Structure 1
Amino acid sequence: MTSRIDSSPTRIGSPIGIAAAEFRRFRGTMPRIALVFVALVPLIYGAIYLAANWDPYGRLANLPVAVVNQDKPATAQGRTVNAGTDFVNKLLAQNEFDWHQVDERTAQRGLADGDYYLVVTVPSTFSTDLVSGQTPDPVRAHIQVRRNDANGFVIGSITNTAQSKIEEAVDQSAVQSYFEVVFDNLSTIKSGLDDAADGSKQLDDGLASAHTASGKIATGAANLASGATDLQTGAKSLSDGLGTAETGADDLSDGLQTMTTKSSDLATGADQVATGTQQLHDKVVPPLTALQKALPQMQKNGTEAGDALNDIADTATGSSASISNDLDHADAELAQLQKQHPELADDPAFQRLSNRVDSASDRAGTIADAAQSNAELISTITTDAQQAGDDLSDSLADSKKNINDLNNGAHDVASGAHALNTAIGSASTGADSLATGVTTAANGASDLYAGATTLSDGADSLKTGTHDLDSALGRLSTGASTLHDQLAAAAKKVPAITPDQQDSAAQVLSSPAKVDMHVDNPATYYGRGLAPMFFSIALWVFGISAFLIIRPVVGRTLAGRANPVARYLGSWLPAGLLATIGGYLAISTVWLFLGLDPVRPLALYGLTALGAVAFSAIAHLLRTALGTPGSALLLVWLILQLASAGGTYPPAVLPRFFSAIHPYMPMSYLIDAFRVTISGGETAHLVQDVIVLASIAVVALALGAWVLIRKQRLSMRDLHPPLA
């Protein structure tokens, strides 16, 4: 045996031999699993914790953030600015967070309950403040951002990123709104200056037109003077010519005397013609009138005669009630009678009656034919008479009118002849006076016409020039007015500000908006914000380390026969007391030396005791049930809780696995409760957390008692040496 050991390549005393001997001690499945677990602890701790915190900023799109838009549109330079809506749309488009557009009440409630980690509020004066940069008195627009440290202090570092992004979005909206209006003003100013240039052009054109018109006025005035001279010359010629007009007037007087004699003879003949036409009218018109009146009655009588003959023909034959029809019926009845009484055929009276009926029937047909023929003849005659009567009536009317016109015309001619004779006599009386200056007046009138023409031309030129001058001066006035108005309007578009206002405007426009951060239940310090997580870690780590020196269950406990719950509580009580004392020492030390200053100190100490009880009960349960592997399980569970409990980053920005297990981690509720007692928050959250932690403690202790009862039944596995 000794020589075999000595011949081994690795001696017991060497380091390799010692290590190999130690490893050979771990035989069986569980010991080997324990060795593998120990080797994997760095990987488990490092990989899980890093996986949870690898890129929380890359998952900010999952962080619920509320945005409240209370902005009211503003008007600047005639343009409506809706900067609040534009800003919110930019935030939503950036997709930096999980934005929820809600009202103010919903946002504040959600922030208090932890449904939202930030609330971004756009005040009602946002648009008004932004466009104030275009006024002499600009002010900065404000965006309000609110967070609640009761939802986690580390969220503050994320909100700093959000704050810068929000300020950037606000500045973009502000600069865009400002420059849109500025460019509108530049366009308006350009338009005004263009109009002013047009007005000045009109002014220049008007002055040129006025100059041209003034030249036309001068020319027209010269022509008017020349025309006036010609008119004076013509008037002198007219005066000279009037003295020689008497010779022509003697001939006119003789001619008028002869016309007086002839017109008297014409008047006598006209009277004779008028007398004859009157006699013709009196003898012809009355019978024509009587004939015209009788024609309608004659036409009516012819029509009635034709209708009567047609009635006679219808009565004689051609209808069911005619004589011919009656005779036919009578003949048929006689034949029927003869058939019934054959002896009547030889009766002379019956034969005569039959012959007369036949003869009457023939005569009725003859009468009907004659009446029908005569009725058609009369109808033709009546139609022709009607047409002739109509034509004759028109001719009679025309003849009467012509005779009346002839008679009236003859009388008018007679009256006119007498009037002509009287007028010629009157004209003869004044012919001497008229004839005196006719010749001279004609010559003078010719000269006067020439001078008047020249005067008229000059007057026209003067009129045209005056009109052009007036129009040009009107355009000049309009152009000057337009130039004044447009330049004044353009000047108003450029604000006049003082040097102090310039400095203020420069500061506002360089940073037109400010994000105001409001923190509910502020943790103030980084350490104070992380205290809930580290206090929770400390209480959990106590459960891992305490049972390195404290036995979870002693033999007396297993062998006892008292109530198992009481025995189990007795075995757990040392760990629970030490955990509570250790928690109080940690909190008191941090408060005393680091300035923890909790807002609810009594609640903090009570919560610390509850956390110590719950976590030590969990650790005691696992060590009692599993032994040393229970501590390993506590370590793995700690790592999972560090990654998922939300002590650093909110569950919303954690990977999906860790955010999914967050509600099932005991540390999640203790961290949340510590935040409420240290920094402040909703009492309802604290009550909920306390209920959950108390339930965990009760369940862990109850399960421990059940495990104790199970362990009182020994098995072969219990005889194996424990894994130390």
Structure 2
Amino acid sequence: MKFGFWHLFKTDLKHGTTNWVAAILLGGLIILPSLYAWMNIEASWDPYGRTENIKIGVVNEDTGGEVRGESIDVGETLVDSLKENDTMNWQFVTKEKAMDELEYGNYFATIIIPEDFSKKLSTVITDNPEKANIEYYVNEKINAIAPKITDKGAGAIVDKVSSQFISEVNGVIFEMFNDLGIEMEQSLPDIKRFENYIFTLEENLPEIHQILNQSLSDADKAEGMINDAQGLIPTVKDAANNGLTTVNDTLGYLEKAENRLKEMAPKIEQDLKKIQSTSQKINDFLHEIENNQPEITQGSEILNQVNGQLDSTLESLNTIETALKQLQEQNNNENNPDNGESEQNDQQIETALNQIASIKESINTMKTNTSEVESTIQEKQQEIDERFQSLTQFSDDVNTTIDSFVKEYQQTIAPRVEEEIKQAESTLTTAKNILVEVQNTLPEIEQMLNNTEGNLAEGEEMLNYVLGEFPYVNDKINTLADKIRSIQSETDMEEIIKLLQNDPNAEKGFFEEPVTLDTNKVFPIENYGTGMTPFYTVLAIWVGGLLLISLMSTEPHDPSIYTERHMYFGRLLTFYVIGILQTFIVTFGDLFLLGVSVDSAVWFVLFGLLISLIFISIVYTLVSVFGDVGKAMAIVLLVLQIAAAGGTYPAVLLPEFFQVIHPFLPFTYGINLMREAVGGIVWDKVYADASILTLFGIAAILIGAFLKKPINHYTNKLKKKSKESGLFH
């Protein structure tokens, strides 16, 4: 009679619960996988949180340096900062002790700061900066992971030194930039003025070139003119000498004219008074005649007396006229260089002569009238009276004219002539002084012309040189102007000044930490142990399956009462129950015993149960179908999965072989599912990973259901043969 798989399952449960030895063994099988997971998770909970126990030797041999007159000691600063840093167990010792302790394994690593550390760093502002180095010694024999941790510590030290030094140096640099910005801001008007000067110079270069050519031509002309001027110097000397002689002669003539005027003045004045007196007497006489009404018989006698007086007056006027004409002639012969003053003197004398001529004409008219009176005296008495009346009136006019002339001569003509002579003497004296000064200056002018001739020769040579260099200067000025325009189009000087002006302390702080890492954890994991929980939990579930196939048989004691398929499914259910219990223990232990922080605890347990069912199916099927060979296959598969599933290292960092097999391993998808529950679920990934993992389980069950019997036919022979050796059960 054959029984079904359910009968086998119930029998297994009965034996497992009633046989205390079996119960103990099953209890051990259920708990042991959990211990494997828990111990590994606990050990890796926070491995970098206890690095303060790792001893690292620190040796400071730095002697300091100097940056822009400021002393720096980066080594001492670093030691001070490490004394406040508890991430490692820093040991500040001598170089000899540090190396000894490192060799004996008491120190995991040793860091040595050389004596020229600060000096090399201080060369950053020189033309040949040198990189400073920190000597790092590590004993990799002690542990595989410890060197990585100490490397991180050494790297942190280098980063700290670099950031601190960059901060200090940039503080100095930006302080210089700030000073430069202030100076540039103060000099900005001068810079713009210089730019305008360059542009103006560029614009005027053609005109400058033309001026230079013209200057060279003018220099040639000037040299000819100087030669001409030098040739005229003797002529100028002669002219000055002749002019001085003429001025001296003229001054002599003026002196003579002045003396002659002084001699003639009293006589002219006397004659004028005489004329004035005679004219007055005639006038009085005529009035007397007019008042007394003389007889015609007395007319001839009276007229003779009048004619005598008139002749006397004419004689005096002729004397004055002759004197004035002599004075006029002498004035014209004196060659006075001041022609204006000579003309004024002539005009004054000519005026006086004209007035005398007028008086003479009037007196002659009077004489004519007296003659007419005498000729007609025999005529009518009435006509005689009219004539006398007319003569009397004319005499009054002559008398008035003479009085006016005498007054004008005394007040205007004589003083004016004397004044003009004085002014002419003054002008000629000034001209004489000028000519004397010209004579004295001529030697100096001659010397200056000689010097100018030499300077012109040098200037002409320089102009030729400048014209020869002009194309080069022209190109350079145009190039400079183009560069300035290019800079103006690409940059804003005021913007540059704003960029240069800064707060050195703020810039120093910026460069000490120019970039801050703003960490945003999409799926935050609390610690390293939590991150390793998916791997170690999945590993524990597989190990649990291996323990089961190592201690429990996949075949019943009486296989004859069951078919191959019933044996497979009946014992598979027993393995499922134990696997589920193992999973509950390990997942609940992770959550409540270790306190692993997971995003979804329920799904963490449920995903664990699914993984357990799949893994049990695979391991159980391998052993059930292939026997002892299946056990070996399950162990090999475990080894491959530990290396290639990406539980500890990303698959992309693994060797190529492991990257190739990575997608074909159940571990890959089991670990992915547990990571979703721990970090945060993305359901699309869960569906994909759960589906592929389920396919592994279905494939295992199909192999067990349909291939167990034919394959067992061969494996049983192998099993029988191995037992005959006495080495295998």
- The TM-score, its normalising length taken from structure 1, stands at 0.37
Higher relative contact order (Cα pairs below 8 Å, separated by 6+ residues): 1
- The TM-score, its normalising length taken from structure 2, stands at 0.37
